[in-house]
Amino acid sequence: MTEMNLAKVNPLLEFIGGVAVLMGLVFVGLELRQNTEAVQAATLQSLTEQSQEYLLLLASDGDVNAIWRQGVADLSELDEGETSRFTFLYRAQWIRFQNAYLQWRRGTLDDEDWAFYAGIICRKEGDKGSPSARGATWPDHKGALTREFVDFVETCWAGK
């Protein structure tokens, strides 16, 4: 080819190259979006499974259920062993809530799904649906949770 022909073809080749790069970026963007949606769906599924396992434990084990109901109603009525079991049950719940919080902070749980968990977490004693033992047992749990999550819980309780 002559220099004149190359000068005519070169802008066309640059344009085609630019379009190819742009199409590649669009493709990467779509793949990233689909991956984000898949991760969010898997996160929500995992949190749902954790909640189901927790509820099935309470529903299927009469002793655990009785300890939970008594501890929620009046923690002082539990003996030492029952108080320990109740504390572990509550700790499992707090760890599940912390997991939801951390997933939300990382962007793998969307704001709408997080709002559901935040609504439960931010209930204070005396609020409808809030167990009376929550505040009494909180000091037992906060040392096992991340500082960031503890700050969130205490801030939302103080703000209500």
> Where do the H-state alpha helices sit in 61-146?
62-73, 80-106, 111-121, 133-142
Q: What sign for the dihedral angle of Cα 13, 17, 22, 27? A: positive
User: Band of the pLDDT at 127, cuts 50, 70, 90?
Assistant: low
In a domain, 134, yes or no: yes
pTM of full prediction above 0.75: no
Position 109 scores a pLDDT of 87
What is the number of structural domains in the chain?
A: 1
In a domain, 54, yes or no: yes
**Cα–Cα nearest to 75, from 63, 62, 87, 65:** 87
Residues 75, 86: contact at Cβ < 8 Å?
yes
Residues 6+ apart with CB under 8 A from 149: 97, 98, 101, 102
SS3 content of the chain, % helix, strand, coil (to 5): 85, 0, 15
Across 11-20, 61-70, 83-92, 100-109, least confident range? 11-20
Taking only the tens place, the pLDDT of each residue in 136-155 is 788 989 999 999 999 999 99
In a domain, 143, yes or no: yes
Taking only the tens place, the pLDDT of each residue in 56-98 is 788 888 998 999 889 888 888 999 999 999 998 889 889 999 9
In a domain, 9, yes or no: no
In a domain, 28, yes or no: no
Query: Which structure tokens are listed for 112?
Result: 């709408």
User: Band of the pLDDT at 48, cuts 50, 70, 90?
Assistant: confident
In a domain, 104, yes or no: yes
Give the domain range for residue 144. Answer: 41-159
In a domain, 129, yes or no: yes
In a domain, 21, yes or no: no
User: Band of the pLDDT at 125, cuts 50, 70, 90?
Assistant: low
